Each structure stands twice: as C-alpha cells, then as structure tokens.
Amino acid sequence: MSKTHYLTQEGFDKLKSELDELKTNGRQEVAKAIAEAREKGDLSENAEYDAAKDAQGMLELKINEMEKVLANCRVIDESQIDTSKVTILSNVTLLNKKVNKEVTYKLVSESEANLKEKKISVSSPIGEGLLGKKVGDIAEIQTPGGVIQFEILNISL
C-alpha cells in the first residue's frame, strides 16, 4: 500500500503538467537520441546509445514515480484548514531560541518542498516536530546539528 501524498491544488497542477511534459516531449527527445545513436553504427561499442538507453530508463522511472504520487494523492482545500494548530499548508512563524532569530515556513508535502521558497516538508525533522503544536508551544527538534528549540509565534494560511 502506497502512502498518501497531500498536495495543494497548485502542487497538483504543477505535478500533472510536469508529468504530461515528460510523457510527450521527454519521451520524444529520448527516442530521438536513441535513433541518432543507433545511426552511428555498432551498438555493442556505442557509448551514446548506452547513455540514451540509460536516459530512457531514468525518464520512465521518473514518470512511474510521478504517476504513483498522483494516484495516491489527496488535494487539500486551504479553506478547511484549522489554524489553531500546525498542520500541512500552515504558515508558521518560529523563534529559534538558540540564535534568537525569527523565521516563517510553510509546511507542504515532500514533492512541493523548496527551502529557497521557505517551504518545508511535513515529513522533514522540523516539519514533523512542528505538526500539532499551537501558538506559544516550544518544539524541541532533533537536527543533525543537535536539538534546537523553536517557539511557535504565529500560525496562519
């Protein structure tokens, strides 16, 4: 049984369009590369052919993984989210007690996580440590650098 992936509507649409792109243009490009390599002669010693076949295998693996995520996903309606505690799609303002610095993160699914956009996965150590916490709670989170205490300052959408 595959685990359920929770996505925003934006994340679902992005994943679906990326999958469609890979199925059409991605497969065409790989087929073209294989055909060009095949034209160069003996396949037993043709590194370009081997590389193109490897690329095809990786593309099909990626397509398969994306199809599994879409088949087992659940799109979250932001209007139904409870902001009294930290849940997926919450914007959480934290105070890092160690360095006394505020930071705001949005908790999202693994496939939507992007640290540059301040989106962290709910399955990451910080994400898991924050889930269920309320404003004023202290979350003690085990990180590779040791235990860090975060105070929940605000929860919003």
Q: 124 and 89, same structural domain?
A: yes
pLDDT at 90: 87
Q: Is the pLDDT of residue 2 over 70?
A: no
CATH assignment at residue 150: 3.10.50.30
Q: Is 32 helix (H, G, I), strand (E, B) or coil?
A: helix
Q: 82 and 64, same structural domain?
A: no
Q: 145 and 121, same structural domain?
A: yes
Q: Is the pLDDT of residue 17 over 80?
A: yes
Report which of residues 21 and 81 the model is more confident about: 21
Q: Is the pLDDT of residue 82 over 80?
A: no
Q: 150 and 130, same structural domain?
A: yes
Write out pLDDT tens, residues 25-77: 999 999 998 888 888 777 677 788 888 889 999 999 999 999 998 888 888 87
CATH assignment at residue 30: 1.10.287.180
Place of tokens 């295998």: 57
In DSSP terms, 155 is beta-bridged to 92
Q: 118 and 69, same structural domain?
A: no
pLDDT at 64: 94
Q: 30 and 94, same structural domain?
A: no
Residue 116: give the domain boundaries: 78-156
CA 38, chain centre distance (Å): 36
Write out pLDDT tens, residues 121-135: 888 888 888 988 999
CB 142, CB 71: distance < 8 Å: no
CB 120, CB 113: distance < 8 Å: yes
> Do β-strands 73-75 and 119-121 pair in parallel, antiparallel, or remain unpaired?
unpaired
Q: 71 and 43, same structural domain?
A: yes
Q: Assign residue 147 a region: left if phi > 0, alpha if psi is -120 to 50, beta otherwise? A: beta
Q: Give the number of domains in the chain.
A: 2
pLDDT band (50, 70, 90) for residue 1:
very low
Percent of the chain's residues with pLDDT above 70: 98
Q: How far apart, in whole angstroms, are the C-alpha atoms of residue 9 and residue 51?
A: 36
Mean pLDDT, the chain, rounded, equals: 86
Place of tokens 């996903």: 73
